[in-house]
Copies of this chain bind each other. A is one copy, B any other.
Amino acid sequence: MERREFLKKAGIGAAAVAATAISAPAVIAQKTYNWKMVTTWPPKLPVLQDGADRFAKRVEELTGGRIKIQVFAGGELVPPLGVFDAVSAGTVECGTSAAYYWAGKNPACQWFCAVPFGFNGQSMSAWIHGGNGLKLWEETYAPFNIIPRPGGSTGVQMGEWFNKKINTLDDFKGLKMRIPGLGGKVVAGAGGTVVLTAGGEIFTNLERGVIDATEWVGPLHDLRMGFYQAAKYYYYPGWHEPGSYLEILFNKKAYESLPKDLQACIDMACTDTEVWTLSQFEAQNGAALQTLITKHKVELIKFPDEVMNGLKKLSVDVVEAEAAKDPQAKKVHEDFKAFQKVVGTWGSVSEKAYYDNIVEKFPLKA
């Protein structure tokens, strides 16, 4: 509502309007907004669902209560993977999820979450905020009336949980594995069988031998899932998801109905979530990994170089084939690749030397 219109409705006469007009910058009509947010995550899921609740609180603080957001966990209002559609249709004003779930909308979506042998969190952030990442993301979601914002990285994920040791690429042959998305296509290329399983059923399937292996996120979440009771070997790194990014989605009409300052508040609350999310994973994964090793006797193993190199070759083919499916995916992929070539590899000088010579080895002793 415009200031003038509001004052009129509030019953202030012409004289009063004229009087306030003199000091106009100090009195403005402030519309309030009550929004709904849906997520893909179970209630109270550490970091992810917590991050959504925290986001809503932050928005309220930032806007002095002008925007209030009610948060619904996955399934409470729409199904966990109904987030994109709900935001697109305007059923809700916003949501949070991960872009690779929307490969069916456009294969390009996957590049904004995780690409096998793609970016870690820091390089994704550089691509999003210092490259064309955000622009391309907005462009990809525009046909769906969605404005996307980055919601933070999980950090480098762990690889898979296995019941046998993986010494060569051949060891993937015949393996029934729960691994979604592009990573799954790579495993299929290596001769594995991809079994799709909802989060809540992974543990049971692993325990009963319906699957031989699974991936999930990282120590913090994997510990909570109890996989250590059903699988012995915990491999790293998460070649399939080296720095998966979360997303916060806004219905275009809802976002654009906000005055500019509130749009900026929304954007900043997303950035705040972004920083907080990665910091939480970084701060908590170490202790969880230590618990898995010392308390639950999990064996932590790095994929042999030969296996990594084999997966990398397969990944290049899978990613290229995926990019070829759609012009937007091709465009995003080409930009991602160009950024990876110079910017991504800067880390092989700076960060690699840091991790090689400055960081001490993780305490692995059982």
Contacts and interface: CB of A to CB of B under 8 A. Distances in A.
Interface of A: 1, 6-7, 9-13, 16, 19-20, 22-23, 25-32, 58, 61-65, 117, 120-123, 125-131, 155-158, 218, 236-237, 239, 242-243, 259-261, 264-265, 268-269, 271-272, 274-276, 278-280, 282-287, 289-290, 300, 302-303, 305, 308-309, 312, 339-363
9 contacts: A1-B26, A10-B23, A120-B358, A125-B278, A130-B284, A239-B357, A268-B268, A271-B275, A289-B346
A237 B346 contact: no
Most-contacted residue by chain B among A63, A156, A342, A358 (CB, 10 A): A358
A12 B6 contact: no
For the complex of A and B, list the 5 residue pairs with the smallest distance between their C-beta atoms, beginning with the closest.
A130-B283, A64-B261, A286-B346, A237-B353, A126-B282
Given A22-B10, A129-B275, A351 B349 contact: no
A280 B236 contact: no
A155 to B, nearest CB: 6
Specify how many copies of this chain sit in the oligomer. Answer: 2
A272 to B, nearest CB: 5
Contacts of A279: 125-126, 128-130
B26 A343 contact: no
Contacts of A6: 23, 26-27
Contact of A27 (B27, B155, B284, B302): B27
A351 B355 contact: yes
B287 A358 contact: no
Contact of A349 (B287, B309, B362): B362
A283 B62 contact: no
A117 B30 CA distance: 51
Nearest to A283: B130
Nearest to A353: B237
Contacts of A155: 350-351
Nearest to A130: B283
